[in-house]
Amino acid sequence: MRTSYLLSLPLFLFTSCATITRGVHEKLSVLSEPSGANVMLSSGEKGVTPAKFVKSRRGDSFTVTVSKPGYIPQSVKVESEASATGGAAMAGNAVLGGLVGIGVDAASGAYNSLYPNPVSVHLVPRGKSAAAEENSAERVSRKETAQTKPKPSPSPRASSTKLEFPIAKSVPGKPGYVFSPFDTSGRYVDVSGYTSGSKVKDPWTDKIFIVP
């Protein structure tokens, strides 16, 4: 019986090579610049950077959220993946422990690793983001102001030129005839054929007036 026990002992030791050397848990480090930021894992754990958490090598993916007052929070997804180190341990286990050892490591997740590890984030101050938004809003405001800027009004000289000649009054009931603004007798002036705004000479005073 003792002989049988001793013969089975090496097999027992080697059938879980990676599980023994690497373990089924891994320390996850979370770093931030600046440090002293709050860390929240979607799995419930909390800490302050620089922080470390003991997580299972084989498990569901989770999210690490790093936040600090005055800075924009950042989130990083951490996943469990097969690693080169775990693969090497599994290869050795295949030699020493056979299929049984590989099965033990696969079940325990001993040849997996967490990625990324460490989780390192650079927090961006909210002030910079707000300043950038403010500058952008100011540029838009300037552009809108330039687009809606009223056109310059005619110069006083141009206005005075237009008002240099008086406008005649139409004769009621007689289209094409106007009262000359220079004739006190109230005689009619035939302006048929002239468009509105045209300059016409008064036949009695030789002064210019505008057709209404």
Of 104, 125, 146, the domain-final residue: 125
Q: Is the peptide bond before 172 cis (omega within 30 degrees of 0)?
A: no
- Asked if the model's pLDDT at residue 28 lies above 70, the reply is yes
- What's the one-letter identity of residue 74? Q
Residue 115: band (very low, low, confident or very high) from pLDDT cuts 50, 70, 90: confident
- Asked if the model's pLDDT at residue 105 lies above 70, the reply is no
Helix (H, G, I), strand (E, B) or coil at 88: helix
Do 161 and 71 share a structural domain? Answer: no
Do 185 and 88 share a structural domain? Answer: no
Q: Range of 164's domain?
A: 157-210
Do 110 and 26 share a structural domain? Answer: yes
Is residue 169 domain-resident?
yes
Distance (Å, whole) CA 163 – CA 160: 5
Task: Specify whether the CB–CB gap between 155 and 197 falls below 8 A.
Answer: no
The number of distinct structural domains making up the chain is: 2
Helix (H, G, I), strand (E, B) or coil at 23: coil
Distance (Å, whole) CA 114 – CA 110: 11
Do 111 and 49 share a structural domain? Answer: yes
Q: What is the mean pLDDT of residues 161-185?
A: 85
- For the chain, percent of residues with pLDDT exceeding 90: 37
Residue 122 is predicted with a pLDDT of: 93
Is residue 112 domain-resident?
yes
Do 177 and 85 share a structural domain? Answer: no
Distance (Å, whole) CA 211 – CA 173: 16
Distance (Å, whole) CA 205 – CA 182: 7
Do 192 and 90 share a structural domain? Answer: no
Q: What is the mean pLDDT of residues 124-132?
A: 68
Distance (Å, whole) CA 171 – CA 41: 91
Task: Specify whether the CB–CB gap between 66 and 38 falls below 8 A.
Answer: yes
Question: pTM of this prediction?
Answer: 0.43
Helix (H, G, I), strand (E, B) or coil at 183: coil
Do 88 and 16 share a structural domain? Answer: yes
Residue 81: band (very low, low, confident or very high) from pLDDT cuts 50, 70, 90: confident
41-45, 81-85, 206-210, range with the lowest pLDDT: 81-85
Tell me which H or E stretch contains 193: none
DSSP assignment letter at 177: E
- Asked if the model's pLDDT at residue 72 lies above 90, the reply is yes
Map tokens 């599994």 to a residue: 90
Give me Rg for the CA atoms of the chain: 46
- Asked if the model's pLDDT at residue 67 lies above 60, the reply is yes
Tell me which H or E stretch contains 27: strand 25-33
Tokens of 193: 């054929």
- Asked if the model's pLDDT at residue 16 lies above 80, the reply is no
